């Protein structure tokens, strides 16, 4: 449906696209050395597609989050911030980065979010189990 709604997007160069890039596609994980890494963590729909196929949904999700004040970017600046980040990423090789080495301000945010998830997870684990499920099933293991 996307090509019918936005036919000009098909004319943009094809790249390895995520297919459903949005604000929540970015996150943190630990690498093999235990360092906290930040980058794109959602690759399940990756395919060769026009690059705008990722930028448009990312912009829409960012505009929605900005309008709800979920992100601290003014509505008028969202697209400029996304394009600036995209250009920078292309220039620098498109790699995730180690939060101890770059963007320490983002590391603080990521650590706070990780703490929130751990606390929420403990509360979830303390809930009574539905009949027929195990703790492993509830934790997605």
- Which pLDDT score, from 0 to 100, does residue 141 have? 40
Parent domain of 52: 2-102
Together in a domain, 71 and 93: yes
Pairwise CA distance, residues 46 & 122, whole Å: 33
Per the structure, how many domains does the chain have? 2
Residue 95 sits in the same domain as residue 26: yes
Q: Distance between CA 103 and CA 119 in Å, rounded?
A: 25
Of 120 and 82, the structure prediction assigns the larger pLDDT to 82
Sign of the alpha-carbon dihedral angle for 80, 83, 87, 88: positive
What is the structure's pLDDT at 43?
83
Kindly state whether residues 98 and 109 are assigned to the same domain: no
- 92-96's contacts with Cβ under 8 Å and 24+ in sequence apart are 95/39, 96/37, 96/38, 96/39, 96/40
Pair 18, 77 in one domain = yes
Query: pLDDT tens, 60-100?
Result: 888 888 888 877 777 788 889 889 988 888 888 888 888 87
- The pTM for the full model equals 0.66
């Amino acid at each position: 449906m996307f090509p019918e709604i936005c036919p000009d997007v098909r004319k943009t160069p094809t790249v390895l696209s995520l297919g459903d890039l949005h604000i929540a596609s970015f996150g943190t994980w630990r690498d093999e050395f235990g360092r906290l890494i930040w980058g794109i963590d959602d690759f399940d729909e990756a395919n060769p597609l026009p690059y705008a196929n990722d930028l448009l949904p990312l912009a829409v999700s960012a505009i929605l989050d900005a309008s709800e004040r979920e992100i601290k970017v003014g509505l008028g600046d969202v697209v400029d911030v996304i394009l600036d980040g995209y250009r920078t990423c292309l220039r620098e090789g498109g790699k995730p980065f180690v939060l101890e080495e770059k963007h320490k301000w983002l590391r603080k945010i990521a650590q706070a979010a990780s703490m929130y998830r751990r606390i929420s997870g403990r509360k979830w684990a303390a809930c009574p189990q539905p009949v027929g499920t195990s703790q492993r099933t509830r934790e997605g293991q």
